[in-house]
Amino acid sequence: MKKLGEIRVTQRTALGHDQSDSTKVYIVKGVYSTDDIEVMDEQDAKEMVRECGSVIVGYYEIIHPWLLAGSWEENLSDFCRMAQRRLDEDDLVKYNDYGVAFLK
């Protein structure tokens, strides 16, 4: 599995900018069709591989503070959106007329 890069998240705290933890978000191919991609956490990615025959093509490592504001689900959703934007910035995806993402 290929590491596609790192995304750094900073959050101002009383102690300054803390980047003491990391979370991986995975790029999974073949979620809704044979070639589409989705960004998801490890648990969901492994379930898609097991249940649907999807393939994990890589991941982004999100470097972030150990303690984050908001719920974990909110933060994980933000991490997945950041990874999706990074895929766009790195010119690794294309979209069809319906907004479905595919690897180039």
Q: CB count, 10 Å around CB of 104?
A: 8
User: If we measure between CA atoms, which residue out of 91, 93, 19 comes closest to residue 62?
Assistant: 19
Which mean pLDDT values do the consecutive 10-residue runs of the chain (104 residues) have?
91 64 96 93 96 95 87 94 96 94 93
71 is written with which tokens?
């719920």
pTM score, whole prediction: 0.88
Note the pLDDT of residue 57: 96
The pLDDT of residue 18: 66
Q: What pLDDT does residue 16 have?
A: 53
Give the domain ranges of the chain: 2-103
How many Å apart are CA 75 and CA 69, to the nearest integer? 8
Q: Which residues fall within 8 angstroms of residue 31, CB to CB, at 6 or more apart?
A: 37, 38, 48, 52, 54
